[in-house]
Chains A and B, each alone.
Chain A
């Protein structure tokens, strides 16, 4: 079973968010990368782009499939992991670390309360939340 860090928030689409004040760092979970298999391509937005809660902000592709990335929160992209498109395998090897994708400045921090806790997310994946 994939580890689910306790200090992160999660979506049912298998993204994580690390909230720090009005900023949130975003990536996909260990469970998600296991389901995807070898990640070979990542497409991320540019700094300054606006993202909306549960709308797509990018794409991740494994050998077999294309998957949309969903923004856990609404805001503006203030940082992008520029290394990731060159080393997409980091999504597999270190999904919560060097596999991070973007940092956003939240426009409605209250949205964070609606995200899943680690315990709730663990329950989701234990119930076969893959799609």
Chain B
């Protein structure tokens, strides 16, 4: 559950959008793992502090997520009333299911 080593940083980009209906949309691309998950966590923290009603994590363009990425989403799920993973690939869906987190992360079957 460690993720990649330090000399192997994968590229990850993210985009934050806060809607008037208090929806926070986090769009992720690339590979999210232990080497860059802290960057994303600190970037999203202020928006979470404004107590959004709902967090949408768009993972349609995310090629890989390790367990520390999933742990971060679980944190987000605990911080807001509603969470949604959008455009979940079969690979990622299988990972979330294997960890028993479908319900926590609101993955519809």
Decide whether A and B assemble into one complex: no
| A interface residue numbers (CB < 8 A to B) | none
| B interface residue numbers (CB < 8 A to A) | none
